Amino acid sequence: MPREEPSREEVQVPANAPAADVDATPGVPPERLDALRCPKCGNDVSKGGRIRYVETIQAARSIRRVEDGHLVINSWYETEGYDEGTNPRFECHGTAADGRWCGHLWPVPDWVKPLLDWV
């Protein structure tokens, strides 16, 4: 049986959130990617901090069969040629002051969006 990820509450962020709400580096011009830090714990991308880009997508998974009263579903998913997600946000994978994983979610600032390169 596949391992299940812990349940995480979906966070909706307004598309027009003001920069003051998302820029955690006072005094640094927000047009620099090295200014990208977690607003909660300060995890800093320019110093190797782990931050993930997260978005909501619609995934289609094939049902393979019914076996022993269970529905067997393919773990691979399709996006039907449309994989542009919604509600883009960053998720911090830094360590908080108490030693636990931070996990803070915050909106992708408008100034970052034109600087994204998809590979």
* Residue 102 in domain: yes
Domain count, the chain: 1
* Residue 103 in domain: yes
pLDDT digits (tens, 9 = 90+) for 7-64: 344 444 444 444 334 444 444 445 677 778 898 888 888 888 889 999 888 888 899 9
* Residue 107 in domain: yes
* Residue 110 in domain: yes
How open is the CA angle 117-118-119, to the nearest 5 degrees? 115
- Strand, helix or coil at 64? strand
What residue numbers bound the domain in which 97 lies? 28-56+83-115
3-state helix, strand, coil in the chain (%, to 5): 10, 25, 65
* Residue 44 in domain: yes
pLDDT digits (tens, 9 = 90+) for 64-77: 999 999 999 998 88
* Residue 16 in domain: no
Note the pTM of the prediction, 2 decimals. Answer: 0.60
